[in-house]
Amino acid sequence: MEPALSLGFDQLSARFRRLTGIDLNQYKGRQLERRLQSLLRRHNLADYTALSLRLERDPAFLQEFKDFLTINVSEFFRNPEKFRELQERVLPELLKARPRLRIWSAGCSIGAEIYSVAMILDEVSPGRGHVLLATDIDRASLDKARLAVYQEQELKTLPPHLRDRWFRPVNGGWQVDRRLAERVEFKNHNMLEDPMPADMDLILCRNVVIYFTDEAKDRLYRRFFNSLRPGGYLFTGGTETIFQAREIGFRLISPCFYRREPAG
């Protein structure tokens, strides 16, 4: 952590980790400092010590701080050309090896990503009972994902024929059809600390790690590698290049898609 963050930061980091399980030291120092300074100004807090005390005493503020730190941005079919590649190339290849896939959306936010995958799977391999796991460290986001109700603007990237098939209007928005929603298991999970699920065919972790330190990213990508079965894929965000991919054991198949090479 850069020296500029040192005064009062250790106390803040220790308290925040005790309250939430999130380690602030895993985030890039300069970017984190800018975000923390913005939060201090917004709430008229003098320093990190004052921020630390506020977190301890005010549960609503603690949740606001978590939301502020963990960027909960998710869209249906974000980068549609990559989801076309997922549908036309990656999933058919995986289905040749196993008819029932194990898929994990890590850092799933409000669930748009995993529901996008569920809709694709219904088209390419209907009725096969795939395992769909979606995890996030933010319980409020998970609650929304389980509720599966989205506002009109949150569906702007959803193809109209899929909205017609899988969503119904409800008061205040659109709800995912329960037949689709019940295929997904949502869990609270800290991807940097908690045990990883095993034997996954596909892991999606997109636009989640951009604020992590290089050391945290390297550790996380190695954990993902171990979580994948040989031949499995990691699907990343468009700006999240894994520079040490070959060292870890991944092969870059195309931008955003990394494969754990099959054994032998």
Q: Catalogue the active-site residues.
A: 35, 136
Whether residue 142 contacts residue 178, with contact meaning beta carbons closer than 8 Å, is answered with: no
Q: Hey, which bits of 122-181 come out as E strands?
A: 131-136, 149-150, 167-170, 173-176
Q: Which ranges of 43-87 does DSSP label H, i.e. alpha helix?
A: 48-57, 59-69, 80-85
Residue 95 neighbours by CB under 8 Å, 6+ apart? 101, 124, 125
Beta bridge partners of 220: none
∠ CA 57-189-232, nearest 5°, is 160
Amino acid, res. 227: S
What is the C-alpha separation between 245 and 250, in angstroms, rounded? 5
Residue indicated by tokens 């098939």 = 165
| 3-state SS class at 73 | coil
Q: Cα 109 to chain center, whole Å? A: 6
Pairwise CA distance, residues 111 & 145, whole Å? 5
